[in-house]
Amino acid sequence: MLRSLTLLFAGLAMALLAGCQPPAQLLVENAHVQLSPVEDSPSVLYFTIKGGPSDTVLRSISSPSILRLEMHETVEENGMSMMKPITAVAVPTRGTVEFKPGGKHVMVWGVDAAARKAGTAEFVFSFSNGDKIAVDAAIKAIKPGEGMAH
């Protein structure tokens, strides 16, 4: 009886430990496009990457609804804020990588009419470990006076 109770408690303890450490999964969350109000000027894609069970690298992003896109990073140089193209972004194990205003972002040219109408566009994120993650990004119009933040 005592022995089976001990086993029961050991089993419970293991279940609790497992509960504290859910399996890490590489994810792309909260993807959204800030649509430029001016047809010819670029829109911007923002999102958050959650790292998986091992380190990886974001290599590229593509979308059938987009003419052209470029990964950028906003950096300070000589007191000036400027954007530089980036081609690879490290995603550490269980880490969080944010593409957000004032930091990393994706410039987006030529959002097609169907995606604008639907208010959503599919983006495929390709990683160095071979993972390809497709997400639907909401296309959000910029409120008047809000301006484009890169």
Nearer to Cu ion (CB atom), residue 72 or residue 139: 72
CB 47, min distance to Cu ion, A = 14
C-beta nearest to Cu ion: residue: 72
Candidate residues 107, 115, 121, 139; the one interacting with Cu ion per rule CB under 5 A:
107
Cβ atoms 76, 137 nearer than 8 A? no
CB 104, min distance to Cu ion, A = 9
Q: Reduced to 3 states, what is the DSSP secondary structure of residue 129?
A: coil
Site string for Cu ion, 116-145 (x = CB under 5 A): ------------------------------
Nearer to Cu ion (CB atom), residue 7 or residue 75: 75
| Rounded distance between C-alpha atoms, residue 95 and residue 112, angstroms | 33
Site string for Cu ion, 81-100 (x = CB under 5 A): --x-----------------
Contacts of 25-30 with C-beta under 8 Å, sequence gap 24+, read 25/50, 25/52, 25/53, 26/50, 26/51, 26/52, 26/56, 26/91, 26/127, 26/129, 26/131, 26/133, 27/52, 27/133, 28/125, 28/133, 28/135
CB 52, min distance to Cu ion, A = 27
Chain positions 45 to 84 lying near Cu ion, rule: CB under 5 A, are 72, 83
Nearer to Cu ion (CB atom), residue 66 or residue 107: 107
75: left (phi over 0), alpha (psi -120 to 50) or beta: beta
Enumerate binding residues for Cu ion (CB under 5 A): 72, 83, 107, 150
